[in-house]
Every structure is written in C-alpha cells, then in structure tokens.
Amino acid sequence: EIVMTQSPATLSVSPGERATLSCRASQSVSSNLAWYQQKPGQAPRLLIYGASTRATGIPARFSGSGSGTEFTLTISSLQSEDFAVYYCQQYNNWPPRFGQGTKVEIK
C-alpha cells in the first residue's frame, strides 16, 4: 500500500500571506493526486484533482503542482475562510489513501 505523508502537520500563517503545503507518496502515483479542504464539523471539499486541476468553483488562489511522489498545494493569499485542515489523497493504486492532514491556522 502507498503511504501518503503530509508536511508540516501544522502551518501558522497570517491572513494575506502565502501558504505552501507538501504531500509525499511512498511510490509514484503519477498525477492521480487530489487535495481536499475540511473545516470543523463539515465534510471534506474537493479542491484539486489530477494534481493541478481546480475543482468546480474553487478560487484561483488555490493551485496544485507536482507528479510522481512529490506534490504541493499553494494558497497564494490566505483568506479567513481558508483556515482549515487540508488532506491529500492518492487514487493511482488500491486502496485510495489519504495523508494525515495539514492544519492551517491563524498566526
């Protein structure tokens, strides 16, 4: 099974600043990588699929990059509504696996 490792576990950022989140796969997942945002008490929301394609309705400040084993989610200018937990997920191999999450908190 592929193991997904996210870093850092917690990221403290001021509103308006840039946030960079990392996700590493234990073996290549090609570009079959998604990013989700989850706020307390809510279901996850798809942000990015195919490593770099924004899902419907996702603001342009969210961008994804990478392929193979190394991936990045960048939030160009953090808004108040962006403080949440972010998960990456590989869907190249069974079973689909999520990373442990990165919490983006207000600095």
Q: At closest approach, how far in Å is the CB of 33 from another protein?
A: 9
Dihedral sign from CA coordinates of 60, 56, 10, 95: negative
Q: At closest approach, how far in Å is the CB of 16 from another protein?
A: 28
Q: What's the rounded Cα separation, in Å, for the pair 39 and 37? A: 7
Of the pair 36, 83, the CB lying nearest another protein is at: 36
Binding residues for another protein, per CB under 8 A? 32, 34, 36, 38, 42-46, 49, 55-56, 87, 89, 91-92, 94-101
Q: Which residues contact 10 (CB under 8 A, 6 or more apart)?
A: 102, 103, 104, 105
Of the pair 19, 88, the CB lying nearest another protein is at: 88
Taking every pair of Cα atoms in the chain, the longest distance, rounded to a whole number of angstroms, is 38
CB 10 within 8 A of CB 86: no
Q: At closest approach, how far in Å is the CB of 4 from another protein?
A: 10
Of the pair 24, 45, the CB lying nearest another protein is at: 45
Q: At closest approach, how far in Å is the CB of 17 from another protein?
A: 25
Of the pair 27, 77, the CB lying nearest another protein is at: 27
Burial class (CB in 10 A: 0-12, 13-18, 19+), 23: buried
